[in-house]
Each structure stands twice: as C-alpha cells, then as structure tokens.
Chains A and B, each alone.
Chain A
Amino acid sequence: MSELTEVTAVRPGPGRRFLQSDLFYSFRRSPLTIASAVVSLILVLAALFAPLIAPQNPFDPASISIIDSFYPPAWSSEGQAGFLLGTDDQGRDVLSTILYGMRISLAVGFASVILAMVIGVTLGLIAGYVGGVTDAIIMRIADVQLTFPAILTALLIDGVARAIAGPHAYDQIVFFVLVLAIGLSFWVQYARTVRGSVLVEANKEYVLAARLIGLSPFTIMFRHVLPNVLGPVLVIATINLALAIITEATLSFLGVGVPPTQPSLGTLIRIGNDYLFSGEWWITIFPGITLAILALAVNLLGDWLRDALNPKLR
C-alpha cells in the first residue's frame, strides 16, 4: 500500500509535465506564437480589469460630458491629455469604451464558443458512437446548417428573438440572443470533427475492452472516447473564438447586436463609421485596430495549436 502512495510523490505533477511536454517545446520555439499569446493575454486581462484601468466608466452618464465630444487623440494639436485616444460623439473616452467594449466582445465570444462546443461535441459523440439512423439524422441537420452562412443563421435567430421579445425586453436579453445566434451557427464543425475522431477511436481495442466489461455506452463515450478526441476540439475552439468575436462585431456593426448604450467593439466601429468621413477617424479606427489585433492574435494561437497537435506536421 505504502508503495502506491509513493507513486504519486514520484510522478511529476501536471505543471511539470506540461513544461516538459512537446506542446510547450513547440510553443517556446515559435516567437510569433509567444507574441500572440502575450498580446492575447494582455487584451484579455485589460478587458477583465477594465473597471480598474479605464480612465472613465463610459456607461456611467455622470462621468461623461457632452462638452468633451469629438476630441482627437491626445498627441494631435487639439487633443486633451485626459483622453489618450480622443472622445466620441457623446464625449466618452475612446480608450475606455474600447476596454469596456472588449469585455462584451470577449464575453460573447467565449460564451458562444462554449455553447457551440457543448452542442457540437455532444451531437458528434452521439452520431459517431451510436451510428445508424441517429448518425444520419444529426449529420444531415449539420449539412443543412452548413449551407447557411454563419452570419445568416445569426441574423435569423436575432430577428426571431426581436420579434418575440419586443424592442424593450430585447435589450435585456440581447447578450443571450447573440450567444445563442453565434453558438448555433458554429456547432457543425465540432460535431463533424468529433464524429470523425469517434469513428476512429470507437474501433480501437481499448473501447472494445471497455464494452467487454459491460460499461454503458454513455460511460464509454464520456470517460473513454471524449478525452481522446478533445485535441482537435481545442484547436477549433481557439480558432472559433476569433471567428465568434468577429461575427459578434459584424452583427453589432449591422445594427442587430448590442445597443449603443452598452457598446461592444463592433458597435463602436459602427458608431464611429458615421463620423469617418467628417474627419473624426479615431472613433472608428481605434476599436477597429483593437478588434483586428485581438482576432489575429487568437487566430495565430489557434494555428499554432493545430500544428503542434498534428503529428504529421511536426
């Protein structure tokens, strides 16, 4: 007995195992990946701690003044030192709106990716493991879903929600509608990938061994098969995070996303767009740059993860 307790002491912990892993090794070897990880981390932290670092709370009517509107960035001749990236039409500090906007963008992004992942992985597992008619039905639904562009699905769900909830209530639930809209338009990729991996894994002998001792299909799917198909899921999730953020921005830009009172990056770009040709370029350019950097950094991370987890590309 005592020797078995020693086992845990001898084995390296998960932290050290990660530091010795091939994954970490390939991470360390790619400066671009390190840079994009650092940028992503800074942006996520900045969004998370926006209330602490932002110069003002752009959603608090008491702290903003219409008199401060349309200040250009601080470094131009007419700029004000207090507003580093200038102010918008309502006198809100652009830097602050970006930080707060990123919160909403990231929150929608993460939540919709998780929703898509849960739906997609579950359906993929069931389709792959159960097979037969169930598989056919799930995959045909996926095929149909795939023929709609993601943005169209999102618009459709948004429109339906708007019609049901009415304009006032809609503002309250807009966050959930966006998550649902984006989540539902991205699940297919997870389902297909997981189904493919499950078809491979389910024929492996460790699954036969588990069936032999009479484990239920549910147990086998979640305890045995799922951990072995998570690698590709993680890759898709990372790349999808960037896509989800952009989709949210697109929806907001089209005016079906979050309202201007609680602007996300997309809403900010839309608001600023109105002033682009009257010379107040900073209102739209800075949120635009932030969105581009955020999406690029996350996407590069996803690309690296895909290559690092794919033994063929090593």
Chain B
Amino acid sequence: MNNQAASMQAVPAEANAPLVEVRELHRVFDLSKRWLNRVLEGSGKVVLTAVDGVDMTIRRGETYALVGESGSGKSTIAKMVVGLLPPTSGTVHINGVDIWGERGARQRQMRRKIQMIFQDPFASLNPRWRVGSIVAEPIKAFGLIADAHDRQARVGELLSLVGLDPLDAGKFPHEFSGGQRQRIAIARALASEPEFIVCDEPTSALDVSVQAQVLNLLRDLQERLGLTYLFISHNLAVVRHMATRVGVLYLGRLVEEAPSRELFSEPKHPYTRMLLDAVPDIGMEGVEREPIAGEIPNPVNPPPGCHFNPRCPHVMEHCRTTVPPLCEVNQANVLCHLYEGGALARPYGI
C-alpha cells in the first residue's frame, strides 16, 4: 500500500489523473442497546452496514456525483472521504496519500486540500460569529496568512469571488438569506485553497431560483480554480446538470457507475431505471406513469443477495441468494446479475 502511495505521488498532477481513490470502503454502525440492556432483555447485537464495499475513482477536475435515496449511505461516504468519520475498513487516498493512515504535519497538509460544503446553510455557519471570522477561520487554522490585515483583504477577495460584498464580512449569518449563506459557506470552503470539495446536498435546502445561482457558481468556480467535486444529491436533475460521472447507491452499495451522459441516456441497473422514471419533472407534464411498487427496505436488515431484489421487475432466482458481481458494460460498471457473462447492453429490449 505504501509503495503504491509513493509511486502515485511521483506521477505529475496532470488533468484526468486520479485525485481521489476509494477502495473497498465499508462502514458499520453499531445500533445495539447498551450491554446491560442486551443482557437483561436477551436481545442481540444490531448492526447497520451503511457503506458496503464501495470503490470510486475521482479524476482531477471532474465532478463525481453520488445519487441515492435515504439510507443509501451517501452522506456516510462523504464523511469518510473528507476525514470526519473513520471507515470500518477500506482506504481513501487523495493525491496518493492515505487520509486515514497519515498523522501530524502530512495529515494537516492534506486536510487543507479537502473541504466540504454542507446541506443546511442555516446550521453550517456559527450564528455567534461574524462572517469575516467564519471565512478567516480556515486561513488562521492552517496558518496561511499571518498578517491580520492581509487576512482581512483575502476574506474580502473570497467574498467577492462567491458574489458577495466584501463589506458583508462585518455582518452576522442571520442577516443573510439561505442562498447568500450558502455562498458564505462556499467562501469558507475556498479559504484553505482546496483542490477537492465534497458538496453534500448543497442546494436541497434552497429555493429553485437560488439553487440555479449556487449550481452555476459551483460550476464557475470549478472552471476558474480547477476544483474537483464529489457532489452528493438525491435530485437526479441537479446531478445530470452538474456531474461528469455518476455513481448510484442503493443500501450502501454502488449499483451503477457510469459517465453522466451514458447513465442518463442509457441507464442499466433496474434501480437506476426506476429512479429516472420516478422523478417528477417539468418536462413530463401530463404524462401518466406506472410508479414502481415498494419502498426502501430497512437498512438494518437488508434483503439477501441483491438488495434490490424485492422491488426489481426482472428478479431472477439467484438474485435472492447471491450478491451480483461487478459487470462492465460499455463505460459503465453495473452490479446486476442481468449483465453477467457478457455485455447484454439492453437486457429487456427497450
């Protein structure tokens, strides 16, 4: 592992080189009651496998989107990738450095390159701090600019970069609307000069007209600063607009991964097809559709074999018993028995 990391670093940081590599990522949460209660009530251990063996490669300058419904594990992956939550097993390499294997200065140096934008702009800014201090905090924490005046100037610069007034530095978060707060959060994320930003549902708390502003801003910044995004969302239309590559999660497993265009024009996994069919869309007004039956099973006790088998219209006998293998179809990776043993690109003749 270390050898590989060392050789990875030797590769010059060119475009399209992998920036983030996630291998065999697992995360298990222990939901059991306390030991004493377990003994007294005779109940066993309860574990939830939130992330079940996820592999991802995010290339420099691209936007990798993770899509999934509740319980799919997308936020858990985000937290493990930025270093907020340790994985149960598996590795996350950024720029060839194992983020969970490093300590001290090297780890700090790497943390500076990773930032995150959160879902709720009302909870992500400390209400007691002025905007200027909020944006300046990462600069201070990483010791990027020692001089207080230069730091203030940099804060003003960052605020203009995200479309706010440098004078806003003196205000408190409650004086701003949701969209403006999200801009402040973006300015804070940019303050440590990161290369990689994880956007966890960055617009799902915003109104549509403001959502467009924030999405456009994120795309602008990506072009200007050469950023790489991991973009997490449950909104497929937003993902289609933002992503270059998309991973679809279902109960902790990556069931399909493909370049954005291919995924939306030619979805392969039955779950992806179902999701795309289910999204209410303004382009589909008046269309009668047959909604897919069933709900997401309890992630504590997922169905054996392929997790999607109880809802799948194409379910086969072995889907209920064996976990499907990863199949390569065109440029997509699909976790489905339908594609086993050869590229059956359109298995059910649509």
Q: Which residues of A contact B (CB under 8 A)?
A: 1, 3-4, 6-8, 10-11, 204-206, 208-215, 224, 227-228
Contacts and interface: CB of A to CB of B under 8 A. Distances in A.
A208 B84 contact: yes
B92 interface: no
Contacts of A215: 141
Given A205-B123, A209-B185, 9 more contacts: A1-B149, A1-B152, A1-B153, A4-B170, A11-B171, A205-B118, A211-B84, A212-B84, A228-B126
Contacts of B119: 205
B115 interface: yes
B123 A6 contact: no
B323 interface: no
A250 B126 CA distance: 43
Contacts of A209: 116, 118, 124, 185, 188
Contact of A206 (B123, B142, B166): B123
Chain B interface mostly: helix
A208 to B, nearest CB: 6
Contacts of A7: 132, 167, 169-170
A223 to B, nearest CB: 9
Interface string B82-115: 1110000000000000000000000110011011
12 contacts: A4-B155, A4-B167, A7-B132, A7-B169, A204-B123, A205-B124, A209-B116, A209-B188, A212-B115, A213-B111, A214-B141, A224-B126
Contacts of A11: 170-171
B289 interface: no
A227 B128 contact: yes
Interface residues of B, number: 37
A11 B83 CA distance: 38
B108 A214 contact: yes
Cβ-closest 6 pairs across A and B: A7-B170, A205-B124, A205-B118, A227-B128, A204-B123, A213-B141
A195 to B, nearest CB: 18
Nearest to A214: B111
A190 B116 CA distance: 34
A213 B149 contact: no
A8 B120 CA distance: 28
B167 A6 contact: yes
B84 to A, nearest CB: 6
A3 B153 CA distance: 9
Contacts of B123: 204-206
A63 to B, nearest CB: 51
B34 to A, nearest CB: 9
A206 B116 contact: no
Interface string B176-198: 00000000010010001000000
Given A209-B188, A212-B115, A10 B120 contact: no
Contact of B116 (A1, A4, A212, A224): A212
B156 interface: yes
A133 to B, nearest CB: 11
A215 B155 CA distance: 19
B82 A212 contact: yes
A4 B152 contact: yes
Interface string B63-84: 0000000000000000000111
B96 to A, nearest CB: 20
Contacts of A208: 84, 116, 118, 124
A4 B169 contact: yes
A267 B83 CA distance: 60
A228 B138 contact: no
Contacts of B44: none
A7 B164 CA distance: 14
B84 A228 contact: no
B123 to A, nearest CB: 4
B153 A4 contact: yes
Interface in B126-157: 126-128, 132, 137-138, 141-142, 149, 152-153, 155-156
B126 A206 contact: yes
Contacts of A227: 126, 128
B125 interface: yes
